[in-house]
A and B are shown apart, each in its own frame.
Chain A
């Protein structure tokens, strides 16, 4: 196998088909970018889930007129429940401290709120967060209890939105990846057709299948790799300008994906680019360049 000869054949092929090659690279880049973005959203959802699942608690808010006896009774019963891992009592003052921390960017709200208006509560951490109903039904109607809130319920809607977003992107990414496969297949077919004289002679003088097909295959794969590189660059731009410069700065209550996850993404994009170009080229060549 003479590398120089194969390389020059690829170069001739790419140049002859320049517009088609550019179209392939753009299509591959766009579909891989969508794919990459949907993977970034998935990473983000996972990061948030990990972060929040460790934190979600059931909050049992107490009425303002709850007596000390009622409170102690509730605490003892909570601690005795097998489903409960840990119980923390939050006084009005502690609630106020947390409130101030949460709203430190908007001092007007803090100034207009006093510790009195905030309810006392038990923060209950469950061994299994799904057992919320057991706790809720046991305590909701008890004297001194105002209401029982499952933070998990609040997060569920949030995650449902993110998941729908991710699924939608994955759906469009899949469609455009399929389009890219078809387009690469057509390009390789056009390349094979425009060089049928050469390939005809190659077959005649006994060139092996590999030798005949390799330039076309590599042409497709090269386009796939270039598409993957462009897609990586666009995803890096999304990471820099959307995640790092905007979201991380503005929304501090939750962790955001960083460069670690991004560098994990790059090989996936390049590999997917190679794979889809390889599949498209190989399938086309099997059909159109038989010995």
Chain B
């Protein structure tokens, strides 16, 4: 589903590469934790998958497509197959829960009857049924992240990218979010999650890829956060 082949990324103003000869293969339906300290290259890794950045050398394949050969007007099509969740939720404060989720479908031109059908479904799935007409500032952090996950998942993407989705949440709420991501993973969606949260990684026992200064230093099938902690 995702393949990075000897990928090196050097930002124009940086002396050291953000990613240095990284090779990672992620199968369809896998759940992968991307761990490592700040500046280890996790964000660059995720940005490459969305073609927000292009590698300096090496190739990135997502869903069987070589992103280097993907013309720039086809990038939106790529992004429709990838859902994204962030630490800061990125919800629209002036829109209700339902409108926030519907927005993701409206802007890719989905017809209204489809939107009216799938938005309540996905809100039920993330456990926000009945809160459709609330605004983000009336919700707890955990609930806001559920809205963001609903928005990322409403178009049934093949891949879900989560960049520290529990970074702003307390442990209990985080566990709830992880359960939700696990459920989404079980529907066949590949999940790539960058995180600092050792407790979560340890409890999930999923594949762990650790980056350090742009290099893959560990790739474990059922890993824990790290030895060095």
Residues of A within 8 A of B (CB): 1-2, 5, 197-198, 200-209, 211-212, 291
Residue on B with the closest CB to A290?
B72
Residues of A within 8 A of B84 (CB): 204-205
Residue on B with the closest CB to A212?
B107
What DSSP secondary structure best describes chain A's contact surface? helix
Q: How far is the CA of A124 from the CA of B83 in the complex (A)?
A: 87
Q: Of A198, A200, A207, which contacts B108 at CB under 8 A?
A: A207
Q: How far is the CA of A206 from the CA of B75 in the complex (A)?
A: 7
Q: Does B79 count as interface, using CB distance less than 8 angstroms?
A: yes
Shortest distance from the beta carbon of B133 to any chain A beta carbon, whole Å: 18
- Contact string against A for B residues 71-111, beta-carbon threshold 8 Å, 1 for contact and 0 otherwise: 01101111111101000001010000000000110111101
Residue on A with the closest CB to B73?
A209
Say yes or no: A206-B90 contact (C-beta < 8 A), given A2-B106, A5-B106, A201-B103.
no
Give 27 A-B contacts (CB < 8 Å), ordered by A residue: A2-B106, A2-B112, A5-B106, A201-B90, A201-B103, A201-B104, A201-B107, A202-B107, A204-B50, A204-B79, A204-B90, A205-B79, A205-B80, A205-B107, A206-B76, A206-B77, A206-B79, A206-B82, A207-B76, A208-B73, A208-B76, A209-B73, A209-B76, A211-B109, A291-B72, A291-B75, A291-B76
Q: Of B73, B82, B108, B152, which contacts A211 at CB under 8 A?
A: B108
Of B50, B72, B76, B80, most A-chain CB atoms within 10 Å: B76
Residues of B within 8 A of A201 (CB): 90, 92, 103-104, 107, 151
Residues of B within 8 A of A209 (CB): 73, 76
Q: How far is the CA of A67 from the CA of B48 in the complex (A)?
A: 103
Shortest distance from the beta carbon of A143 to any chain B beta carbon, whole Å: 86
Shortest distance from the beta carbon of B179 to any chain A beta carbon, whole Å: 24
Q: Does B195 count as interface, using CB distance less than 8 angstroms?
A: no
